Amino acid sequence: GQDSGQSRVEADLEVIGDRLRGLAADGTPMVMICGMYQMFGHAFITHEGLELPGLGILDVTTRGQSTRMIGGIVLDTDLGQVVGFENHSGATVLGASQQPFGRVVVGNGNNGNDRTEGARTHNVIGTYLHGPLLPANPKVADALIAAAAERATARPFEPGEIDDTVADEARTRQVRRLLAKRS
């Protein structure tokens, strides 16, 4: 959500924070996008200087800024190349041991400087990639489904035959278009 929404959900997150931290530590897959990504970190400091405490699930801290980072983005991740659309004014910095979700090929990512995007701890992904993250990147969706299935059944997940041709073609076209704009 928007920065203004974070202050409205802060009290609710405090109430369920221990449960969310427990679920994350236990391997529950979660995808947190934009404002909720920021709230899953240690703190979000608004552009005006108000510090909203986060849940500390991800080792990140975010500061609001006046400049927005908007546009198509391409990442290299452990799950392959990922595309999306970023739209945020938060500048997020990863803690020393925090792994990013991916490395920026095109776009701004966490802060426009360090070429990282998002954060990933266990099965929790925090990211600035707005929709359609999962439909455009089926390997990300498949990894989350596999983690959920394995957690629920305590058995290795064996997916059936999946045809991702259309999603792969759409992602490839978007990557080509964004790389061409960069040149």
34, 42, 88, 122: which one is catalytic?
34
Nearest CA to 106 out of 32, 36, 174 is that of 174
> Taking the CB of residue 178, how many other CB atoms lie within 10 A of it?
17
| Spatial contact of 82 and 69, defined as CB atoms under 8 Å apart | no
Per-residue DSSP letter, 100:
P
pLDDT digits (tens, 9 = 90+) for 43-62: 999 988 999 999 999 999 99
Q: Count of residues for the chain?
A: 183
pLDDT digits (tens, 9 = 90+) for 118-141: 999 999 999 999 878 999 999 999
Per-residue DSSP letter, 6:
H
What pLDDT sits at residue 5? 65
What pLDDT sits at residue 131? 72
Contacts of 76 (CB under 8 A, 6+ apart): 82, 102, 103, 105
Pairing of strands 80-94, 43-45: unpaired
What pLDDT sits at residue 118? 98
Question: b/e map of 47-77 (b: 16 or more CB within 10 Å)?
Answer: eeeeebebbebbbbbbbbbeeebeebbbbeb
pTM: 0.92
88 is known as an active-site residue: no
pLDDT > 90? residue 153: yes
Nearest CA to 24 out of 128, 155, 121, 100 is that of 121
Distance, CA of 45 to CA of 99 (rounded, Å)? 21
pLDDT digits (tens, 9 = 90+) for 64-120: 999 999 999 999 999 999 999 999 999 999 999 999 999 999 999 999 999 999 999
pLDDT digits (tens, 9 = 90+) for 2-39: 555 666 787 788 889 999 999 999 999 999 999 999 99
Burial class (CB in 10 A: 0-12, 13-18, 19+), 182: exposed
Output 169 or 182, whichever has higher pLDDT: 169
47 is known as an active-site residue: no
Pair of tokens at residue 161? 């035959």
